[in-house]
Copies of this chain bind each other. A is one copy, B any other.
Amino acid sequence: MKYPILLTNLIEHNIAKTVLGAVQKAIGITDTFIPLHEPEFSGHEWDYVKKCIDTGWVSTAGSFVEKFETGLAEYTGAKYAIATSNGTAALHLALILAGVKPGDEVIVPALSFVATANTVQYCGAIPHFVEISRETLGMDSDALESYLSEITEINPAGLTNKRTGRQISAIVPMHTFGHPSDIDGLLRLSQKLNLPLVEDAAESLGSTYKGQHCGTFGTVSALSFNGNKVITTGGGGAVLTNDEEIAKRAKHLSTTAKLPHKWNYVHDEVGYNYRMPNINAALGCAQLEKLSRWVKEKRKLAENYDAAFKNISGIKFVREPPKAKSNYWLNAIILNDENAEYRDTILETLNVADYMARPTWTLLHKLKPYADAPAMIDMNIAENIGKSLINLPSSPKLARRSR
């Protein structure tokens, strides 16, 4: 589409103004900067952290870590939760626990935060990037099934990539912006191919699929409590699993693989210093008490956005997929092909007006460290979303603003 330059500028300006207007309609006029996702400490954060400091238990032993783990297990319905120093650490452990070995390939969506690929690399394995679905923004299970049937064969060692000769050892869907991926389809594929499903649930605390919490479907999964997440512990994450042996090993590996003994230091495998400190868990315990309320508010905020963007043509507000109830961690709009070229102008307009907005991540296979990693050839949807999606301010308190 080629309009004369002046007309293009005019269209561009109008579209950016329209988006700004819709955002203002959804969350109100602001006179201060509105971040993408702001943490809130309005509960028992200070009480718990103070208790932690007063008792001297701030480090890797202390009652808040266990309390936080119990709280997470209760909230998500997972049998076990193991708190870690951050979501990256949790996903790294989850991959090891699922059996990912050096030299393996691991199926990862092309659209995700870089940690999804980095943790595969930490295992000495190679990420293999695949297409996403427009409906979920997560892994497309149908496209994946036909792709794997084409490029793999079953060997005694397991599922093998015919082109690279490497074993494929896990499928790692990521529930993008809190929206559950097509879990039914992925579970079916995981069972059919005997490949463990490792859910990257970093963004989806508070999201459910058919009434069950994200991160409880696969063999093992990872949550994140980074400062920009639904709840935060400063830095933090957790491994979720229903398998007792995996849970025990998650704790063992996260605490330097030290065997219990009254004084001896014996470590029986290469372990990690991935345990969440007690002071961070204290924060987490207080945050967890607010989680249900915040998820409700975030869903209300999403409704407000949905209403505000409803009648704007060429721009689609991203709604939760079928069978899913999303935490709407990050609200998002997708520009149609005609409007996609104005994305940066819209981003600029929103940010200048103090409404923080950002595009989604650079697709993983386009990053320098992963440019040579195996990837599906046809990833049109990921490519398109990469160019046309904009994330909008999503803090729960924005649902409380008068409009």
Residues on A facing B (Cβ under 8 Å): 38-41, 45-46, 49-50, 53-54, 56-61, 85-89, 113-115, 118, 121-122, 124, 226-228, 232-235, 256-258, 262-273, 275-280, 283, 347, 351, 357-362, 367-369
A252 nearest CB across to chain B (Å):
13
Q: Are A234 and B280 neighbours in the complex by a CB distance under 8 Å?
A: yes
Q: Are B362 and A275 neighbours in the complex by a CB distance under 8 Å?
A: no
Number of identical protomers: 2
- Majority-rule SS of A interface residues: loop
The one of B53, B235, B270 in contact with A273, judged by C-beta atoms closer than 8 angstroms, is B235
Can you list 8 residue pairs at the A/B interface with Cβ under 8 Å?
A38-B56, A41-B58, A88-B273, A121-B270, A235-B275, A235-B280, A264-B359, A268-B369
Collect the chain B residues with CB atoms within 8 Å of residue A273's CB: 86-89, 115, 235
Collect the chain B residues with CB atoms within 8 Å of residue A358's CB: 263, 265
Closest 3 CB pairs of A and B: A59-B227, A234-B277, A88-B273
Collect the chain B residues with CB atoms within 8 Å of residue A60's CB: 226-227, 235
List 11 extra interface pairs beyond A85-B85, A86-B273, A262-B351, CB under 8 A.
Answer: A41-B53, A59-B228, A59-B232, A59-B235, A118-B272, A234-B277, A234-B280, A235-B275, A235-B276, A235-B280, A279-B283
A45/B53 contact (C-beta < 8 A), A60-B227, A234-B279 known: yes
The one of B50, B114, B262, B264 in contact with A46, judged by C-beta atoms closer than 8 angstroms, is B50
A257 to B227, CA, bound (A): 18
Collect the chain B residues with CB atoms within 8 Å of residue A115's CB: 256, 273
A361/B235 contact (C-beta < 8 A), A256-B115, A256-B118, A273-B87 known: no
Collect the chain B residues with CB atoms within 8 Å of residue A256's CB: 114-115, 118
Give the nearest-CB partner of A359 in chain B: B263
A41 nearest CB across to chain B (Å):
5
The one of B87, B267, B276 in contact with A367, judged by C-beta atoms closer than 8 angstroms, is B267
Give the nearest-CB partner of A57 in chain B: B227
Collect the chain B residues with CB atoms within 8 Å of residue A114's CB: 256-258, 265, 267, 271
Q: Are A235 and B54 neighbours in the complex by a CB distance under 8 Å?
A: no
The one of B85, B271, B360 in contact with A235, judged by C-beta atoms closer than 8 angstroms, is B85
A225 nearest CB across to chain B (Å):
9
A394 nearest CB across to chain B (Å):
15
Collect the chain B residues with CB atoms within 8 Å of residue A226's CB: 59-60
A56/B85 contact (C-beta < 8 A), A234-B279, A265-B114, A269-B369 known: no
A270/B369 contact (C-beta < 8 A), A234-B277, A361-B265 known: yes
A388 to B147, CA, bound (A): 61
Among A61, A277, A278, A367, the most chain B Cβ lie within 10 Å of the Cβ of A277
Collect the chain B residues with CB atoms within 8 Å of residue A54's CB: 41
A104 nearest CB across to chain B (Å):
15
A61/B227 contact (C-beta < 8 A), A40-B56, A359-B264 known: yes
A209 nearest CB across to chain B (Å):
26
Q: Are A58 and B87 neighbours in the complex by a CB distance under 8 Å?
A: no
Collect the chain B residues with CB atoms within 8 Å of residue A41's CB: 53-54, 56, 58
Give the nearest-CB partner of A52 in chain B: B234
A121 to B102, CA, bound (A): 12
A158 to B151, CA, bound (A): 41
A86 to B58, CA, bound (A): 13
Collect the chain B residues with CB atoms within 8 Å of residue A85's CB: 85-86, 235
Among A61, A86, A256, A258, the most chain B Cβ lie within 10 Å of the Cβ of A86
Give the nearest-CB partner of A41 in chain B: B53
